[in-house]
């Protein structure tokens, strides 16, 4: 059962310094992992700050989205380290497997592709995160297995 | 002091920030206490706050976030900034420098050590509220710290009248949302206050006017993790380690084309060669070493002539290089320096917040020039223009982000100019 925005707000004092925490919690509870305008209006009202400054914060931070996203958000590291170790090859493989570009969501609503800056998972092969799960030591074969696993997992949970 | 030798390596580690690594369950406060945890704060509470600052100052500890500022002085400034006012202590856990993951390793393995370090720093400067600002991507660290804070409260190490003393301290986790710049201390304050991550103009420094306008002490995770050991063993013990001007140990994170990428905590004064070959097992696939980027994106390139360099803030500075966060990104003979530099500069362009013009326009301008460098013939002139542009940015930008691109650019030209000019990418 998802937690309503109203319930989340009540956990916090109506102070602006709680804004990021509140936004994180609301976004996590949304089925499409984004911040809908309706919810942002509730935040603006509760904290007594203008909608434009709420939007200003949301649009500044890359982890917040105002567009609906997939069930699985794939965040591929494109930092200098992963880039030199071939994250572009992983990016191409992901695009091919999912038939979408970065910053897009598959039509079945399962996957969103995003780039991330350094995830602090540096090794001698590229890394990524899918939702809260970290993956490192990636190559194109592993990517295919990971994506297929998630597809199957999702199919099974629907049945 | 605990010596641990990783079976993969032939270097001797000296672990202070990582002293409990692999020995305790990070979710168990009992494990931490059983291994001597929370004894340093007990000792500290018996001391005068000033005496603690003296010890930190005498230890020679310098900020492990990258800048290497003397930690003791920072403590002193914060404690002297006012007589009887509200103060804050903050832990900067917004680790985002490319190639750096030392703070993550500490938080994932020993979250209570960080809490104890914060307790000591708070007691020393007279703060009763603290925040750990951690990047949103570090999910495991976040949940372990949340758990650790919770159990520290339930055992009376956080909250009112800690260990039956008159010292009270509340600690809260603040979670970032994907911005490299929020690791810059003044920008971090803006973010904790619930705003866009725009840097503030310095001065005033945080020790004077920090969070909510109050004196604030900001320390990196690794720095704070040295506090308990300094209190327990004394400043002399600590200052016997390291080089003349850079005391103690440092965690280095090794990545790129090496056989054994990873992390190790060693006394400062080790050579770059030793880190890459003895710890890192040398270059992968039998290739040869071409160079390394030291300190992350806001760091400096070096080539093989620097393999004998001694790792210490001053020692590296003398030779025009930086220690920074302790990141060592190694690349082999096949890696194009142009590609790596481009990637570094793209990173700065993406992370520039856009508040000040030199950085907003400069980072984009430099990338356009990099494209030109690839496609046009007068490469020497274009390279000079890139350097000039980055020097202008360094002089005119508001915060360290805009001041940083000059470091990798200048050093890439210093060591790899021929390749950058010749290159037909």
State pLDDT tens for residues B109-162: 999 999 999 999 999 999 999 999 999 999 999 999 999 999 999 999 999 999
What are the residue ranges spanned by the domains of chain A? Answer: 5-60, 72-158
Contact call for A57 and B194, based on CB within 8 A: yes
- Integer-rounded Cα Rg, in Å, for chain A is 17
Cis peptide before B203 (omega within 30 of 0): yes
Contact call for B137 and A63, based on CB within 8 A: yes
State pLDDT tens for residues B201-226: 989 999 999 999 999 999 999 999 99
State pLDDT tens for residues B244-278: 989 999 999 999 999 999 999 999 999 999 999 99
| pLDDT at residue A122 is higher than 80 | yes
State pLDDT tens for residues B277-328: 999 999 999 999 999 999 999 999 999 999 999 999 999 999 999 999 999 9
What is residue B424's predicted lDDT score, i.e. its pLDDT?
57
- For the record, the structure tokens of B399 come out as 């915060």
Contact call for A20 and B194, based on CB within 8 A: yes
Kindly report the average pLDDT of chain B as a whole number.
Answer: 94
pLDDT band at B8 (very low <50, low <70, confident <90, very high): low
Query: What single DSSP character describes residue B199?
Result: P
**Cα distance from A103 to chain B (closest Cα, Å)?**
15
Residue of A23, A61, A124 with shortest CB distance to B257:
A124
**Segment 289-318 of chain B within 8 Å of chain A by CB:** 293, 296-297
State pLDDT tens for residues A42-57: 999 999 999 999 999 9
Q: Is the full-model pTM beyond 0.90?
A: yes
Q: H/E/C letters for each residue in B104-163?
A: HHHHHHCHHHHHHHHHHHHHHHCCCEEEEEECCCCHHHHHHHHHHHHHHHHCCCCECCHH
Output b/e per residue, B83-109; b: 16+ Cβ within 10 A. eeeebbbbbbbbbbbbbbbbbbbbbbb
Q: Rounded CA gap, B377 and B396, in Å?
A: 30
Residue percentage of chain B with pLDDT more than 90: 92
Query: What single DSSP character describes residue B44?
Result: H
Of A85, A63, A76, residue with least CA distance to A147: A76
- Rounded to 5 degrees, what are φ and ψ at B153? -65, -45
What is residue A10's predicted lDDT score, i.e. its pLDDT?
96
Of B423, B418, B61, residue with least CA distance to B231: B61
What is residue B9's predicted lDDT score, i.e. its pLDDT?
55
Q: Which fold has domain A72-158?
A: Glutaredoxin (3.40.30)
- Contact list in A for residue B256 (CB cut-off 8 A) is 81, 84-85, 122, 124
**CA A56-A62-A67 angle, 5° bins:** 75
Contact call for B99 and A118, based on CB within 8 A: yes
What is residue B84's predicted lDDT score, i.e. its pLDDT?
83
State pLDDT tens for residues B44-77: 999 999 999 999 999 999 999 988 899 999 999 9
Residue of A62, A81, A85 with shortest CB distance to B179:
A62
| pLDDT at residue B7 is higher than 60 | no
With an 8 Å Cβ cutoff, is B353 touching chain A?
A: yes
Q: Are strands B216-220 and B13-15 parallel, antiparallel or unpaired?
A: unpaired
For residue B194, the chain A residue with the least C-alpha distance is A17
Q: Rounded CA gap, B177 and B194, in Å?
A: 11
Q: Helix A19-29 and helix A37-47: axis angle, to 10°?
A: 150
Q: Which domains does chain B have, with CATH numbers?
A: 29-237 (3.40.50.11540), 249-332 (3.10.20.600), 337-422 (1.20.1440.230)
């Amino acid at each position: 059962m998802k937690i309503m925005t109203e319930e989340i707000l009540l956990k916090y004092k109506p102070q602006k310094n709680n804004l990021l925490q509140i936004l994180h919690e609301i976004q996590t509870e949304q089925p499409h992992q984004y911040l809908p305008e309706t919810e942002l209006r509730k935040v603006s009202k509760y904290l007594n700050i203008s909608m434009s400054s709420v939007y200003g914060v949301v649009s500044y931070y890359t982890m917040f989205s105002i567009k609906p996203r997939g069930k699985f958000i794939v965040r591929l590291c494109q930092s200098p380290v992963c880039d030199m170790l071939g994250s572009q090859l992983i990016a191409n493989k992901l695009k091919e497997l999912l038939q979408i570009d970065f910053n897009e969501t598959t039509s079945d609503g399962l996957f969103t592709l995003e780039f991330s800056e350094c995830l602090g998972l540096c090794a001698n092969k590229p890394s990524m995160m899918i939702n809260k799960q970290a993956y490192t030591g990636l190559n194109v074969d592993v990517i295919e297995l990971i994506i297929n696993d998630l597809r199957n997992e999702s199919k099974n949970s629907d049945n | 002091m605990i010596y641990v030798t990783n079976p993969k390596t032939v270097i001797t580690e000296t672990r202070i920030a990582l002293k409990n690594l692999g020995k305790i369950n990070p979710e168990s406060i009992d494990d931490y206490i059983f291994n001597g945890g929370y004894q340093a704060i007990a000792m500290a509470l018996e001391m005068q706050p000033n005496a603690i600052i003296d010890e930190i100052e005498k230890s020679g500890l310098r900020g492990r976030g990258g800048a290497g500022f003397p930690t003791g002085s920072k403590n002193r400034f914060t404690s002297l900034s006012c007589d009887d006012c509200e103060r804050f202590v903050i832990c900067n856990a917004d680790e985002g420098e490319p190639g750096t993951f030392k703070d993550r390793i500490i938080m994932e393995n020993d979250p209570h050590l960080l809490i104890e370090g914060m307790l000591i720093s708070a007691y020393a400067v007279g703060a009763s509220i603290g925040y750990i600002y951690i990047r949103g991507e570090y999910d495991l660290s976040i949940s372990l710290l949340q758990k650790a804070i919770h159990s520290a409260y339930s055992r009376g190490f956080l909250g009112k009248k800690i260990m039956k003393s008159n010292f009270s301290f509340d600690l809260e986790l603040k979670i970032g949302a994907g911005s490299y710049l929020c690791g810059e201390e003044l920008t971090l304050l803006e973010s904790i206050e619930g705003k866009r991550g725009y840097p503030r103009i310095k001065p005033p420094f945080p020790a004077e006017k920090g969070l909510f306008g109050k004196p604030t002490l900001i320390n990196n995770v690794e720095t704070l993790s040295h506090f308990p050991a300094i209190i327990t063993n004394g400043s002399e013990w600590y200052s016997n380690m390291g080089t003349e001007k850079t005391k103690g140990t440092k965690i280095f994170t090794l990545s790129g084309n090496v056989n054994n990428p990873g992390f190790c905590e060693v006394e400062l004064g080790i050579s770059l060669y030793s880190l890459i070959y003895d710890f890192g097992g040398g270059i992968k696939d039998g290739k040869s070493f071409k160079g390394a980027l030291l300190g992350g994106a806001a760091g400096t390139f070096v080539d093989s002539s620097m393999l004998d360099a001694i790792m210490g803030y001053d020692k590296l500075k003398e030779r025009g290089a930086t220690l920074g966060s302790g990141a060592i990104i190694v690349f082999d003979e096949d890696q194009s320096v142009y590609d790596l530099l481009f990637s570094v500069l793209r990173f700065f362009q993406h992370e520039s917040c856009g508040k000040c013009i030199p950085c907003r326009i400069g980072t984009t301008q430099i990338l356009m020039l990099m494209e030109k460098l690839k496609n046009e013939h007068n490469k020497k002139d274009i390279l000079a223009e890139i350097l000039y542009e980055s020097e202008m940015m360094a002089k005119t930008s508001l915060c360290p982000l805009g001041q940083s691109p000059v470091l990798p650019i200048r050093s890439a030209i210093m060591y790899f100019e021929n390749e950058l000019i010749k290159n037909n990418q």
